[in-house]
Chain A
Amino acid sequence: MLAYTPLMLALPLAGFIILGAGGNSLPKWLVNLIGCGSVALAFILALTDFFAYGASSAPYDIVLWRWVTSGTLEIHAGLLVDKLSIIMTMVVTGVGFLIHIYSIGYMGEDPAYERFFAFMNFFITAMLLLVLADNFLFLLIGWAGVGLASFLLIGFWWRKPSAVKAAQKAFVVNVIGDFGLMIAIFLLVGKTGSLNFTDTLFARAGLFSAGDQTTTIIAFMLLIAAAAKSAQLPLHVWLPDAMEGPTPVSALIHAATMVTAGVYLVARCTAIFSAAPYALETVGIMGGASALFAATAALFQYDIKRVLAYSTMSQLGYMFMAESVGANSAAIFHLTTHAFFKALLFMSAGAVIHALHGEQDMRKMGGLRKKLPVAFWSFLIGGLALAGIPPFAGFWSKDAILGAIFTQAGATGSAWEYVLWMIGVITAILTGLYIFRLIFVVFYGSYRGAEQKSSGGRFAIHEAGLAMTDPMTALLALSIIGGFDGVPGVDTIGNYLQSAIGLSPAAQGSQLVILLFVGVLAAAGGIFIAWQLYLARPFRFTPNKNPLYQLFANAYYIDALYNAVIVQPIVQLGSGLNTLLETWTLDGGSRAIAGGVDLLSRALRKLQSGYARNYALSIVIGALLIVAFVVLNH
Chain B
Amino acid sequence: MASFTPLLILMGLTLAFAVLVTIITFILGPKKPNAAKLSPYECGIEEIDPPKQRFPIKYLVTGMLFIVFDIEAASMLPFADLMRRLGSLGFYELVIFIAVLMLALVYVWRKGAFSWE
Binding site for B on A (CB under 8 A): 602, 605-606, 608-609, 627, 631-632, 634
Contacts and interface: CB of A to CB of B under 8 A. Distances in A.
Contact of B3 (A608, A627, A634): A634
Interface string B45-56: 000000000000
A585 B11 CA distance: 28
Contacts of A606: 38
B3 A605 contact: no
Interface of B: 1, 3-4, 8, 11, 33, 38, 40
| A interface, over-half SS | helix
A608 B40 CA distance: 8
B38 A631 contact: no
Contacts of A627: 11
Contacts of B3: 634
15 contacts: A602-B33, A602-B38, A605-B38, A606-B38, A608-B40, A609-B38, A609-B40, A627-B11, A631-B1, A631-B4, A631-B8, A632-B1, A634-B1, A634-B3, A634-B4
A34 to B, nearest CB: 57
Contacts of B1: 631-632, 634
A602 B37 CA distance: 12
A152 to B, nearest CB: 46
Nearest to B3: A634
A609 B41 CA distance: 9
Given A602-B33, A608-B40, A631-B4, 12 more contacts: A602-B38, A605-B38, A606-B38, A609-B38, A609-B40, A627-B11, A631-B1, A631-B8, A632-B1, A634-B1, A634-B3, A634-B4
A606 B40 CA distance: 9
A627 B8 CA distance: 9
A431 to B, nearest CB: 71
5 closest A-B pairs (Cβ-Cβ)?
A609-B40, A631-B4, A605-B38, A634-B1, A602-B38
A631 B10 CA distance: 14
A605 B40 CA distance: 9
A605 B36 CA distance: 12
A609 B40 CA distance: 6
A27 to B, nearest CB: 58
A630 to B, nearest CB: 8
A261 to B, nearest CB: 56
Contacts of B11: 627
